[in-house]
Structure 1
Amino acid sequence: MSILVPILLAVLALAARPGHGAALVPTDNFLTESIKRLSELLETKVSCDKMNVTNIFAGNKEDDDMEVLCKATTIAWEGRSCHMHLEGIYVNLLALLRRQSPEHQAPCPVAAGNTTSLNAFFMDLRKVLQRLVKDRSLK
């Protein structure tokens, strides 16, 4: 019991030091993990790959990166029953949105219109995330 007191005091002293809070996970980790999961999804062939989803990458090129990620979060949420990795991608994209963009709160509305296969959505989303990592557009 006598050893517990010094250990407890040391832990309390370390916890009380200013400026040493928990470190945030770097944004690149969310992006690279999502890219990895998307690559795994593209290698896996399942029946729902041909499932149609709204094509958020077609037409409107005026959306900024956060708007695209917010819409992608909505698509990932809707398709998560197809692939278990989509839940991980959803969580990563949601974390990016919360950290980077207070005005974009998932789920973002996705207007009905052009559709694409879930597999094509994976490829397009992977390209966007790879560009963000390369350009270091998100900090």
Structure 2
Amino acid sequence: MSILVPLLLTLLVLSGCHTATLLHTSNFLKESIRLLDELLEAKVSCDKMNVTNVFAGDKQGNDPETLCKATTVAWEGRSCHRHLEGIYLNLLRLLQRKSGVYKAPCPVAGGSATSLSDFLLDLRRALQQRVKGQSLK
């Protein structure tokens, strides 16, 4: 009986840590989506600027490598709008939580290009899918 109480306490603490990590991740995702919404509403002169289309091969946008490349594109475009720096920082935190393999900035090959506006729409879609995926777990 005396071993049961410490074991239950340990399990309770571990489940709390997992829940706290999910909440932090969810907060980063929701904050990034909010910033993307604000950025997409504010028509800026550089929204037609060409950026690398990191979502071209990954329609789900859930691949850690794609997230890392999106982080790089956000960093490179941060001079366009101040919200891109916040998006970059949130993506960087998400990447650090999700993968120990990828460290931003990831190299982004000069493949197909898209407008910054389309990149932001794709990024918002990918982050919304991540939020939905978390709520299913």
**TM-score, normalised on structure 2?**
0.79
SS of the counterpart of 1:132?
Answer: helix
Match of 1:129 in 2: 127
Specify the code of the residue in structure 2 equivalent to 1:97: L
Q: How many residues align?
A: 120
Q: Partners of 1:56 and 1:94 in 2: how far apart?
A: 16
1:65 CA displacement? 2.0
Match of 2:35 in 1: 37
Q: Structure 1 unaligned segments of length 5 or more: list them.
A: 1-18
SS of the counterpart of 1:35?
Answer: helix
Specify the code of the residue in structure 1 equivalent to 2:116: L
Larger Rg: 1
* Root-mean-square deviation (Å): 2.5
SS of the counterpart of 2:51?
Answer: strand
Bigger helix share: 2
> Which of 86, 103, 111 in structure 2 is aligned with 1:113?
111
> Which of 62, 68, 71 in structure 1 is aligned with 2:69?
71
Matches within 5 A, 1:53-92: 53-59=51-57, 65-92=63-90
**TM-score, normalised on structure 1?**
0.77
1:59 CA displacement? 3.2
1:57 CA displacement? 1.0
1:99 CA displacement? 1.3
Structure 1 pair 61–110 and aligned structure 2 pair: CA distance change class (3 A): same
Q: Partners of 1:30 and 1:69 in 2: how far apart?
A: 13
Q: Structure 2 unaligned segments of length 5 or more: list them.
A: 1-12, 14-19
Alpha carbons 2:52, 2:111 under 8 Å: kept: yes
SS of the counterpart of 1:136?
Answer: helix
